[in-house]
Amino acid sequence: MDKNEELINLAHRRYATKKYDPNKHITDKDWATIMEVARLSPSSMGFEPWQFLLIENKDLKQAMYDDAWGAQHSFDGADKFVVILARKDMDVNSPHIKHMSEDVQGHPFDVHSAFSKKIIDFQENDFQLNTSRELFDWTSKQTYIPLANMMSAAAALDIDSCPIEGFNRANIDRILADHNAFDPKKWGVSVMVSFGYRDQEITPKKRQPMEAVYRVIK
Ligand SMILES: Cc1cc2nc3c(=O)[nH]c(=O)nc-3n(C[C@H](O)[C@H](O)[C@H](O)COP(=O)(O)O)c2cc1C
């Protein structure tokens, strides 16, 4: 099989798992690989506005159960359950931006520099991220990049997954913050994802034809 065929097969192999086998467990090596792929994902300006919470606490899963209606089949059998957080503190004055610039990317940071002005101009004018909700939505959509990368990596390792947006965000934010999982001033829940081994057949893909989703503009 050539690489192209292999990639298409993996895209068919990944599907939204509705029934997991609770007796099957992901090896530490495979899990470390999935998390490393998440960590290496690209982000806008390289600011990595995310964190991944692996929820192992049974009481916490129980507390989330009713409000995370789209995750119930995952709570019932997935080996790993991850909540992906997105940052709220992402304006140019945020300590996170300074930390990423100086400690991770290795450039000196100054809120009055040309780079900072570029960030401000991008956020305020180019993308109009002028409210806390708009900023959160911007960071939140970036979290879907590691989400997708994790699911593709899992499929390549023959591990099943399910992306999850079926939850009441305000209630889940509150439950996790009450559990001291994060500071709700700095973080919010973006999306969830489960991993494990299926206890069902892989569902065949139902998709629009290529010509409905892909156009070449000349
Ligand atoms: C952002 C997003 C959120 C989703 N939320 C849920 C969910 O809460 N519960 C669920 O069972 N499936 C969820 N799904 C799975 C989709 O229904 C599924 O991916 C889609 O129907 C295509 O099927 P496939 O993934 O099996 O190819 C979600 C998918 C995405 C991408």
Q: What are the extents of the domains in the chain?
A: 3-213
Instruction: Determine if ligand 1 sits within 6 Å of the CB of residue 184.
Output: no
DSSP assignment letter at 157: T
**132-142 vs 144-156: helix axis angle to the nearest 10?**
20
Instruction: Determine if ligand 1 sits within 6 Å of the CB of residue 20.
Output: no
Ligand 1 centroid, distance to 70 Cα (angstroms): 9
Query: Across residues 68-82, what is the average pLDDT?
Result: 98
Q: What number does CATH give the domain 3-213?
A: 3.40.109.10
Instruction: Determine if ligand 1 sits within 6 Å of the CB of residue 93.
Output: no
- Identify the band that residue 70 occupies on the pLDDT scale cut at 50, 70 and 90: very high
Query: Tens digits of per-residue pLDDT, 151-164?
Result: 999 999 999 999 99
Distance CA 14, CA 129 (A): 33
* Closest CA relative to residue 85, chosen from 69, 96, 74, 75: 96
pLDDT above 70 coverage of the chain, percent? 100
Instruction: Determine if ligand 1 sits within 6 Å of the CB of residue 15.
Output: yes
Using CA positions, which residue lies closest to atom 31 of ligand 1? 163
Would you say 136 and 88 are in contact if contact means Cβ atoms under 8 Å apart? yes
Q: 1 pLDDT exceeds 90?
A: no
Would you say 151 and 16 are in contact if contact means Cβ atoms under 8 Å apart? no
Query: Across residues 130-152, what is the average pLDDT?
Result: 98
pLDDT confidence of residue 14 = 98
